[in-house]
Amino acid sequence: MRDQGVTVWLTGLSGAGKSTIATALTGELRRRGRAVEVLDGDVIRENLSKGLGFSKEDRDTNIRRIGFVAELLARHGVIVIVAAISPYREVRDEVRARVGDFVEVHVRCVLEELVRRDVKGLYHKALAGEITNFTGISDPYEEPLSPEVVIDTTDETLADSVARVIGALQRAGYLEEDLAA
């Protein structure tokens, strides 16, 4: 039987841990024999959306393009992990409706902690007004209202986060259950 594809959509603020979770989840799913592809927001911008900026309209266009590619891959049995800030609820829901097989994962982290970590130095620049349209500081982030999974990386371990997404995929029938010990 062909594997059932699905799009696992990680949404959340910059630095919250989307890419880290995507990488760990990819390893775990491949270990289980599944075909996986990660669509990273930055990589997609470089390859499919050069020229688009960070206005609501341009962000929405970028998200629709990610959704289009995710659907193409998922219908060939691939588990597609999207890691993109995707701050606007309406376009996320539009993509969900279009794609069909869709598991939304809200990757949360309190802003205070994101500013403290500031791995890419972006929050300090945004707070200093050197970057405009920065989600969470000078641009809105609309939290999902009923995501399949909520991860809070403020104090949750990566292993726990991955396990909870795996559990959600199993409950939704996209992944085989673990064998009883």
Cβ distance to its own copies smaller for residue 35 or 110: 35
d(CA 158, CA 148): 18
* Shortest distance in whole angstroms from residue 25 CB to its own copies: 17
DSSP-derived secondary structure letter, 133: S
Alpha carbon of 141 to those of 80, 88, 159: distances in Å?
23, 7, 26
Q: Which of 149, 58, 73, 69 is nearest to 108 (CA)?
A: 149
CA dihedral over 20, 163, 11, 140, signed as positive or negative: negative
Question: What residues make contact with its own copies under the rule CB under 8 A?
Answer: 35, 37, 47-48, 50-51, 61, 64-65, 68-69, 72-73, 76-78
Cβ distance to its own copies smaller for residue 65 or 108: 65
Residue 145: how many CB atoms within 10 A of its CB?
A: 9
Cβ distance to its own copies smaller for residue 24 or 48: 48
d(CA 114, CA 117): 5
Of 19, 49, 86, 161, the catalytic one is 86
Give the position of tokens 């994101």. Answer: 114
Q: Using an 8 Å Cβ cutoff, are 104 and 96 in contact?
A: yes
* Shortest distance in whole angstroms from residue 89 CB to its own copies: 21
* Shortest distance in whole angstroms from residue 63 CB to its own copies: 12
Active-site residue 86, yes or no? yes
Cβ distance to its own copies smaller for residue 39 or 151: 39
What residues act catalytically?
Answer: 86
